[in-house]
């Protein structure tokens, strides 16, 4: 199914449905009930996190700052927390600065409520200034595509186009694929099963589309599922929909190893570790397996093959000052 969705996106297909009309009707009815419970409109506006992280490191190496771009929806923007340092962009920028031992300039153009068709605007905004083009970008997108019934082929086409544009200007790209909407507390059966199925199918198709454009993916999936079941009040924010600071830190810990690896910073080889169920598989199979297991990285190898890796997560490196220092461009 994931291959069909991705192929339809690549070749202009748009009629591939994920579920039947009756199931879609049920899905929409229960989504409205779930929205009343989760209070999606009550989350605070994401704090702006743009700026320099790791400023004390600027005189340490003499190297210019790495430029990190964040794109996507409310998860990428950090909706649900009140401090800039708690957003995923800030967490990743701080962690990247600590590992690279050089400052990182974060520009976050993610938009709460965005679907994949907003990525074109976001990429344009990020690339508007040729002197500040990013070295690496993280995209988190897909949840709103599911809840707003955007055709999966259309969703993947927009994502693949964004990855292609970023790769064309030399930026590395890491995509956090569609999260498992079946883990949200107020979502009940049969919507929970349907949400999980649709989310995973879209995540797998996103992986295929991203890898074919030269990017890497990290499956967010049900990353917060086990922790949420054990202690939901710590991992979800006050609206019971967006992650809390602890939830965003959990997601950032999964993405940071791949972010560092794509820049050649992570002290871990790309050799496959059979003890960790790592393998080289056809892209579609790797995408399906990654969608079923959160935290799994997929990167292109040779031809139709991809590497499936489970990088070791480590605690996020901390900096003395986790809040951003505005740059001259931000002050202007």
Q: Give the residue numbers marked as catalytic.
A: 74, 239, 242
- DSSP letter string over 29-49? HHHHHHHHHHTGGGSPPPPP-
Residue 301's CB: how many other CB atoms inside 10 A? 16
> Rounded CA gap, 86 and 244, in Å?
9
Residue 273's CB: how many other CB atoms inside 10 A? 14
Q: Count Cβ atoms within 10 A of the Cβ of residue 9 and give its class: 0-12 exposed, 13-18 middle, 19 or more buried.
A: buried
Provide the sign of the torsion angle of the four alpha carbons 69, 91, 316, 239, taken in this order.
Answer: negative
Of 202, 194, 243, the C-alpha closest to 223 is 243
**Mind spelling out the 3-state secondary structure of 242-271?**
CECHHHHHHHHHHHHHHHHHHCCCCCCCCC
Are the C-beta atoms of 106 and 46 separated by less than 8 Å? no
The crossing angle, in degrees rounded to 10, of helices 2-10 and 152-168 is 60
């Amino acid at each position: 199914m994931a291959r069909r969705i991705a192929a339809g996106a690549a070749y202009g297909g748009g009629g591939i449905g994920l579920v039947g009309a009756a199931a879609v009707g049920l899905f929409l009815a229960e989504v409205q009930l779930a929205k009343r419970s989760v209070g999606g409109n009550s989350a605070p506006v994401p704090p702006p996190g743009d700026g320099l992280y790791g400023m004390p490191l600027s005189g340490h190496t003499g190297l210019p700052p790495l430029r990190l771009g964040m794109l996507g929806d409310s998860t990428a923007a950090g909706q649900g927390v009140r401090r800039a340092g708690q957003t995923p962009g800030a967490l990743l920028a701080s962690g990247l600065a600590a590992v690279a031992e050089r400052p990182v300039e974060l520009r976050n153009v993610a938009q709460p409520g965005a679907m994949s068709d907003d990525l074109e605007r976001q990429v344009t905004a990020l690339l508007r200034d040729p002197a500040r083009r990013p070295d690496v970008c993280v995209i988190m997108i897909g949840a709103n595509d599911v809840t707003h019934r955007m055709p999966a082929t259309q969703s993947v086409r927009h994502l693949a186009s964004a990855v292609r544009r970023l790769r064309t200007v030399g930026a590395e790209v890491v995509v956090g694929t569609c999260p498992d909407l079946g883990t949200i507390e107020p979502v009940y059966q049969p919507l929970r099963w349907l949400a999980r199925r649709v989310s995973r199918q879209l995540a797998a198709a996103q992986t295929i589309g991203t890898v074919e454009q030269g990017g890497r993916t990290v499956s967010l999936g049900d990353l917060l599922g086990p922790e949420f079941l054990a202690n939901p009040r710590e991992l979800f924010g006050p609206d019971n929909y967006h992650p809390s600071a602890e939830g965003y830190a959990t997601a950032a810990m999964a993405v940071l190893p791949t972010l560092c690896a794509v820049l050649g910073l992570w002290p871990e080889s790309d050799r496959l570790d059979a003890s960790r169920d790592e393998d080289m598989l056809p892209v579609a199979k790797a995408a399906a397996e990654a969608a079923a297991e959160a935290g799994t990285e997929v990167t292109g190898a040779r031809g139709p093959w991809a590497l499936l890796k489970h990088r070791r997560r480590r605690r996020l490196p901390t900096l003395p000052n986790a809040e951003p220092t505005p740059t001259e461009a931000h002050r202007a």
